Chains A and B, each alone.
Chain A
């Protein structure tokens, strides 16, 4: 879902909005844009093909079954006899080229095709945040590409990069993967911050508080995020000194992130708040992302992580970030820009219904998921015996899913119906002061 749902949607929004916001006709490299999209699409097709294609191991399909992090030596040709690892590697390699291509495009667009008079200091925060995100993609997805090439060398050319029998190291795969894997989550969250930074000011009827500090904090997050990766490896035995470094760097990244939360709150403070659907989702994001960040800081303490690593506490934490933080902002963004994209207004009543259904469902599922984690439920098990004390909590988690599903059905129905039958939205449906986007008539496609 990270690679083929969230990233494509975020890149799509960037593709659509950045040129509009900086007064450009298109991205800097339109053909590279198309190439990058199709690379992502082919990567996705390759991945989904794995469910039905190639001769499966023991008669089953060949879908990747090595975890999203594909640890060595499970992925070596000795232990992964089928092609599941290869589908993982190739699908991500191909779509990774697409991601890097789009990132190069975003950097060139923001730096080179701004309209006259739009200095970097006057650029919308959306463009800044996507610029930093693109820089992170360039520096972080490339190590994954390198590691995947090494894995292919091991599996098909008889190499020994991760072959412990030959003196190689399985831990070095972990380092290479997480050097990608941690900045990746900032790649996911920075565009979500960008949405919030556009939506919250409009519905507080106040400009964003502390624009320069927001830019500075974003750049700081970009840099620090490249130095925290081994907090995913506290249980591997890197030694106290190395662990301590990563404890400190992980705690440090909470600081600029917290500054941003304070700035969003300060934007709302003293403003005239309008609780439209996008604003509801962004307020939900503020609270939930804060909680998610707090559970993250808890786990940044290595001894705490030793107890709770690989438990459902971790699963609850990162779903809280991605669903409670990123997805909420994404819903807000869909509602906020749908009138611009389609020229039609969506049903506000249905939008609010979606919000409340999803909010209840999200909290039923992911609040309560922390508890089995604390009680010791591990990740990646397909069943467990009753009487461990996890049963009721997991039942509540499941009930929450039905509410979320209902909310999403309402969302899809709303957008579909409004696209064809909604009332006309005009160029400036929110009476925002975003002049650059307004001058283009809706539907703006």
Chain B
């Protein structure tokens, strides 16, 4: 048996596989979803089990404004992607900047809430089970927001120096996928912490 002949794909063969960037990002999202699920399960399991210290209903107040900021940033990142797809880099830059600002606002909101909880209410990660699970879950989410913000800032720098072109829209879409995931996680975290857990 020898295999020296080469075979070409028949010209009418329609061969369209999914883009590797998207599939890779979906796989990463699946892994991250599994990590967050464990933290959410721990949070739910420990509701009502703290032996002492401030209770959620006493100290938590739902961060509605900052949540709206974060969820709106999903919308603005979507518009950014569509602008770039249409070739309008300036419009893309504007929407992208707005996304970054909204994300930064959300982080500020988390930081100020934590400041209030620590210094006014006396709730730290060591105080009780509520403290441990709250700071871990919200903190893990915040960490992912920071990662996304770093990536978006990098893209912003590229846009400002003029290196970002319409042909990069596929990569922007992959990054947007990650950002939508971060927002979806916040919806779950918000529900578990501020609705169910209170």
Contact = CB atoms under 8 A, between A and B. Distances in A.
Interface of A: 28-29, 32, 100, 103-105, 107-109, 111-114, 116-117, 134, 138-143, 145-147, 149-150, 153-154, 157-161, 166-169, 172, 176, 179, 427-428, 431, 433, 435, 438-439
Given A104-B31, A113-B17, A117-B9, A166 B129 contact: yes
Contacts of A172: 42, 45
Give the most central of A103, A157, A438: most B CB within 10 Å.
A157
Give the most central of B49, B124, B126: most A CB within 10 Å.
B126
A142 B13 contact: no
Given A104-B24, A147-B38, A428-B1, 14 more contacts: A28-B23, A29-B24, A32-B24, A100-B31, A104-B28, A111-B18, A111-B23, A138-B30, A145-B35, A146-B35, A149-B136, A166-B50, A167-B129, A428-B3
Interface string B6-45: 1001000101011110011001101110111111001001
A167 B129 CA distance: 7
Give the most central of A105, A134, A142, A158: most B CB within 10 Å.
A142
A439 B50 CA distance: 64
Given A142-B34, A150-B136, A172-B45, A159 B125 contact: yes
B22 to A, nearest CB: 9
Contacts of A147: 38
B176 interface: no
A386 B124 CA distance: 54
A116 B6 CA distance: 13
B111 to A, nearest CB: 17
Contacts of B34: 138-140, 142-143, 146
- Top 3 nearest A-B pairs (CB, nearest first) are A158-B126, A142-B34, A146-B38
B15 A116 contact: yes
Give the most central of B3, B36, B37: most A CB within 10 Å.
B3
Nearest to A118: B15
Give the most central of B13, B39, B124: most A CB within 10 Å.
B39
Interface of B: 1, 3, 6, 9, 13, 15, 17-20, 23-24, 27-28, 30-32, 34-39, 42, 45-46, 49-51, 124-126, 128-129, 132-133, 136, 140
A161 B35 contact: no
B27 A28 contact: no
A109 B32 CA distance: 20
B17 A112 contact: yes
Nearest to A433: B1
Nearest to B17: A112
19 contacts: A28-B23, A104-B24, A112-B17, A112-B20, A112-B23, A116-B13, A138-B30, A142-B31, A146-B34, A146-B36, A149-B140, A160-B126, A161-B132, A167-B46, A167-B129, A168-B46, A168-B129, A179-B38, A428-B3
A266 B5 CA distance: 33
B31 to A, nearest CB: 5
A339 to B, nearest CB: 16
Contact of A160 (B17, B24, B128): B128
Q: Is the interface of B mostly helix, strand, loop or mixed?
A: helix
B129 A435 contact: no
B31 A160 contact: no
B35 to A, nearest CB: 4
A151 to B, nearest CB: 11
A406 to B, nearest CB: 38
Nearest to A153: B136
A390 to B, nearest CB: 40
A138 B31 contact: yes
Nearest to B50: A167
A176 B45 CA distance: 12
Given A29-B20, A138-B31, A167 B51 contact: yes
B38 to A, nearest CB: 4
Contacts of B45: 169, 172
Contacts of A143: 34-35, 37-38
Give the most central of A105, A141, A168, A438: most B CB within 10 Å.
A168
Given A28-B24, A112-B17, A153-B125, A159 B35 contact: no
Contacts of A140: 34
Contacts of B19: 112
Contacts of B128: 160, 166-167
A28 B31 contact: no
Nearest to B45: A172
A113 B19 CA distance: 9
Contacts of B50: 166-167
Contacts of B126: 157-160
A77 B37 CA distance: 25
Given A157-B126, A169-B45, A427-B3, A139 B23 contact: no
A107 B23 contact: yes
A21 to B, nearest CB: 14
A176 B9 CA distance: 48
Contacts of B133: 161
A401 to B, nearest CB: 38
Contacts of A104: 24, 27-28, 31
Nearest to B126: A158
Contacts of B136: 149-150, 153, 159, 161
Contacts of A146: 34-36, 38-39
Contacts of A134: 27
Nearest to A428: B1
Give the most central of A138, A158, A160, A438: most B CB within 10 Å.
A160
